[in-house]
């Protein structure tokens, strides 16, 4: 696998160990030399496109915001933005050729050239599609952003996107392992399911923690990708878990990274059918 392909599946941020496992030491070294990836700490990389947003924010005398700010904070996001996100003060005039997605907002409580972590989560919640916004919020909480502060800031929002901000903030969880799981959870919520990340299920002889659990419907959703298995043993363990869950009366649906990220309408439709009771009983898909 190529480095940028791996980084895309990992949310744009990865540890050296995971990146080397999915590619090779040589490919990682060459990608860093070309400037495709940037080292952001000991044993951690991110894609370099966020630096373009920072430069553009300085040029426009604004702040890198939304998905660009999330990247600069070192959080995983589902997709790299096609152009930099920059927010400028309400009275700021900007050139006709902006080379960025520019928004105007009150920045009086912000400082520097990147919006604060809490502001970034709320901004994404107001503007981005729900699954993508939830993935950003989950990533922020995993990175240590205070959940209570995010909820409080979202509830203080007025105007366009206020309800979306509160919904994302209240549902955000640090328990999702990666953006893949977060986006799948977002699609499940949109489909009307009541799923929890990493919910515990007692199978009698052991307790398992599937990616997503809807207890009322006895439904398990798995974000299934070879890249996220540690190897053959983990893959064997996962297959056994799926079988044990079905034997115990749970319905197990498995979705690949490509399906979740590139075929969300199909995934959502499948989940709606399950929620409406139009699918057969317990089985593994």
Indicate the burial class of 225 (C-beta count within 10 angstroms; 0-12, 13-18, 19 or more): middle
**221 sits in which H/E element:** strand 219-223
Predicted confidence at residue 109, as pLDDT, reads 94
pLDDT band at 284 (very low <50, low <70, confident <90, very high): low
Of 86, 80, 111, 90, which Cα lies nearest the Cα of 100?
A: 86
Task: Report the alpha-carbon distance of residue 97 to residue 99 in Å, rounded.
Answer: 6
**29 sits in which H/E element:** helix 25-34
Residue 26 pLDDT exceeds 80: yes
pLDDT band at 228 (very low <50, low <70, confident <90, very high): low
**Which stretch of 43-52, 57-66, 213-222, 252-261 has the lowest confidence by average pLDDT?**
43-52
Percent of the chain with pLDDT over 90: 73
Structure letter (DSSP) for residue 105: -
Q: What is the pTM of this model?
A: 0.88
Residue 205 pLDDT exceeds 70: yes
pLDDT band at 277 (very low <50, low <70, confident <90, very high): confident
Structure letter (DSSP) for residue 229: S
Structure letter (DSSP) for residue 97: -
Mean pLDDT of 90-108: 89
Q: Which of the listed ranges 9-18, 94-103, 112-121 does the model predict with the highest average pLDDT?
A: 112-121
pLDDT digits (tens, 9 = 90+) for 126-161: 999 999 999 999 999 999 999 999 999 999 999 999
Domains of the chain: 3-47 (no CATH), 50-171 (no CATH), 179-275 (3.40.960.10)
Task: Report the alpha-carbon distance of residue 169 to residue 191 in Å, rounded.
Answer: 19
Mean pLDDT of 91-97: 84
Helix count (H) and strand count (E) of the chain? Answer: 13, 12
Mean pLDDT of 228-246: 79
Predicted confidence at residue 137, as pLDDT, reads 98
* Contact present, 161 and 133 (Cβ < 8 Å): no
Residue 115 pLDDT exceeds 60: yes
Predicted confidence at residue 229, as pLDDT, reads 54
């Amino acid at each position: 696998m190529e480095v940028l392909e791996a980084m895309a599946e990992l949310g744009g941020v990865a540890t050296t160990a995971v990146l080397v496992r999915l590619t090779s030491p040589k490919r990682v070294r060459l990608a860093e030399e070309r400037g495709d990836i940037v080292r952001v700490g000991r044993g951690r990389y991110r894609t370099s496109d966020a630096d373009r947003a920072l430069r553009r924010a300085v040029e426009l005398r604004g702040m890198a915001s939304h998905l660009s700010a999330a990247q600069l904070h070192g959080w995983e996001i589902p997709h790299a933005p096609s152009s930099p996100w920059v927010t400028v003060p309400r009275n700021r005039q900007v050139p006709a050729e902006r080379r960025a997605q520019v928004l105007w907002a009150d920045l009086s409580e912000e400082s520097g050239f990147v919006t604060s972590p809490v502001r970034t989560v709320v901004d994404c919640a107001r503007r981005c599609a729900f699954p993508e916004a939830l993935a950003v919020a989950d990533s922020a909480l995993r990175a240590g952003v205070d959940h209570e502060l995010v909820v409080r800031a979202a509830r203080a929002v007025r105007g366009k996107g206020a309800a979306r901000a509160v919904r994302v903030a209240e549902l955000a969880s640090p328990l999702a392992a990666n953006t893949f799981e977060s986006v799948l959870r977002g699609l499940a919520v949109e489909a009307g399911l009541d799923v929890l990340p990493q919910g515990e299920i007692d199978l009698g002889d052991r307790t398992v923690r599937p990616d997503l659990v809807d207890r009322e419907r006895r439904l398990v959703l798995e974000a299934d990708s070879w890249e996220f298995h540690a190897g053959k043993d983990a893959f064997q363990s996962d297959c056994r878990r799926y079988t044990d869950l079905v034997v115990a009366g749970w319905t197990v649906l498995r979705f690949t990274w490509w399906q979740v990220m590139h075929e969300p309408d199909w995934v959502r439709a499948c989940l709606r059918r399950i929620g409406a009771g139009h699918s057969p009983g317990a089985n593994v898909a």
